[in-house]
Structure 1
């Protein structure tokens, strides 16, 4: 058996720093960055889908279609009165002209005059999520009072968005699995390359009695260190990217582009679940790198044991 003497510093079997090692660190960093982006995107989409589902239980809109001779102010007032008089409705307020212009600005520009265009006007109706109104009855009552009124409870629109979000989440999980598989294969080839580069040392230690667990532990420690370094770089880069995008969204709230992003993803913050997911990916990639290298070394040493009697 080959054992280290007390107080004696061992020379590592695998050199601590070389070109192949730096290439592996960069590769692991890239893989972790992609995996962290996937985790953050899945967390963001999942959170946004939940918010969409919550919004549908709190708010609906009534659209008043303009036509020639229609008194829009009177029509909007009638819609507000009917909505407020309905059981299950907590509030009703028309969307102001400035707010309507702001919604249409990305498509029609900033110099928009609502009086010159037949733009539908909206009334936002807040509802009691615990006891919502009868939407069919409310729709019928609105159209009897204001024939140009169209009630939209957003259910069809939100259901399509939630279905799309679910598909994106499944796609993200698939991408994450592929990234982890690619990382595993990369570590396998890197471990084999490291063993090939130190073949004589490994074989001598193995044949003079060094246990496979001892040799595998040397490679495992080496690749664990490189895996954690690469994973930390990649995960940190992803966190910085999400943080910068959140800052950009907050600092550009007055712009239409930021408004559209905020409408879809809120403040573009992945939240604690997303950051915990990134931390989990870092630990997972580091552990996966170490275990993969250990398994590869043990398997290669077992092949050496199988071939050695034939060679003798």
Structure 2
């Protein structure tokens, strides 16, 4: 019986040269791993950005008169440090502001006569709106023209953009998985059609649809495994290259866009998931075709 099964597998494996499905699976998995890595890294970056900005705010003293502006800044700073809602209050050095303005104003940003707002960096003990409202009331009581802006408000467009990237990556992974299943179904049906006479002989010899389906399923699963290894290794090499390039840029946001242990574990499971998906899609397609046609 085992010899007959081996001869049957050899008949079904006549086309050993180039199997298009192997390379299709490899390409699909390569793109899926990259898409999943993009989504996971972007999600981690968004989470890191949100945790970093949570409870952070900036006070801007915008009074035009420099002397009065400094007096108001000192009084506001003292009042903030006495509030229970404020964990820390640090005045922003004018030199740092000048460095931030240099790309637009050049050396003029360091001019002491330039009406640059005095800024105070706040770390709030509680990020609730009520706490922020109390801080804002305490500031405007001393400096009515002052502004209190949360860092989250500044970065909301960036956070929304990152969330959009995560959504696009998730949709991409789902579409690629669906396309892979469709390719496997087409390959399975094409294999059945190519070996129709062989399958009819197997049926006459007593083979059942389940046995025939199992043979094709093994063949397709093996092709999918080969493609998964090729695509997975190629994607791993690409991710390592991208990680090395991103680390060299020194960007704080890109530095947070890491996969982490959970992300790498998820990517490692994708090839296994693809092989299981291919095997399941092949079995369903073959059994239904055999029941309907042969």
TM-score range, shorter chain: 0.7 to 0.9
Residue in structure 2 matched with residue 150 of structure 1 by the alignment: 147
Residue in structure 1 matched with residue 290 of structure 2 by the alignment: 301
* 2:2 partner SS: coil
Matched residues in 2 for 1:101 and 1:230: separation? 55
Residue in structure 1 matched with residue 104 of structure 2 by the alignment: 108
**Which has the larger displacement, 278-287 or 210-219?**
210-219
Residue in structure 2 matched with residue 208 of structure 1 by the alignment: 205
Q: 1:213-252: per-residue Cα shift (whole Å, max 9, x none)? A: 2222222122112212222333333343333333223222
Q: How does 1:118-133 map to 2 (within 5 A)?
A: 119-120=116-117, 122-129=119-126
* 2:271 partner SS: helix
Residue in structure 1 matched with residue 13 of structure 2 by the alignment: 14
**Cα RMSD (Å):** 3.4
Q: 1:64-88: per-residue Cα shift (whole Å, max 9, x none)? A: 4474645766665444333222213
Unaligned ranges ≥5, structure 1: 306-312
Residue in structure 2 matched with residue 218 of structure 1 by the alignment: 215
Residue in structure 2 matched with residue 140 of structure 1 by the alignment: 137
Matched residues in 2 for 1:64 and 1:241: separation? 48
Residue in structure 1 matched with residue 178 of structure 2 by the alignment: 181
CA 1:224/1:303 → structure 2, altered by over 3 Å: closer, same or farther?
same
TM-score (norm 2): 0.81
**Alignment: residue pair count:** 291
Displacement of 1:184 after TM fit? 0.8
* 1:232 partner SS: helix
CA 1:143/1:245 → structure 2, altered by over 3 Å: closer, same or farther?
farther
Matched residues in 1 for 2:151 and 2:264: separation? 31
CA 1:266/1:103 → structure 2, altered by over 3 Å: closer, same or farther?
farther
Is the aligned partner of 1:270 residue 2:259?
yes
Residue in structure 1 matched with residue 240 of structure 2 by the alignment: 243
Is the aligned partner of 1:24 residue 2:13?
no
Matched residues in 2 for 1:66 and 1:112: separation? 23
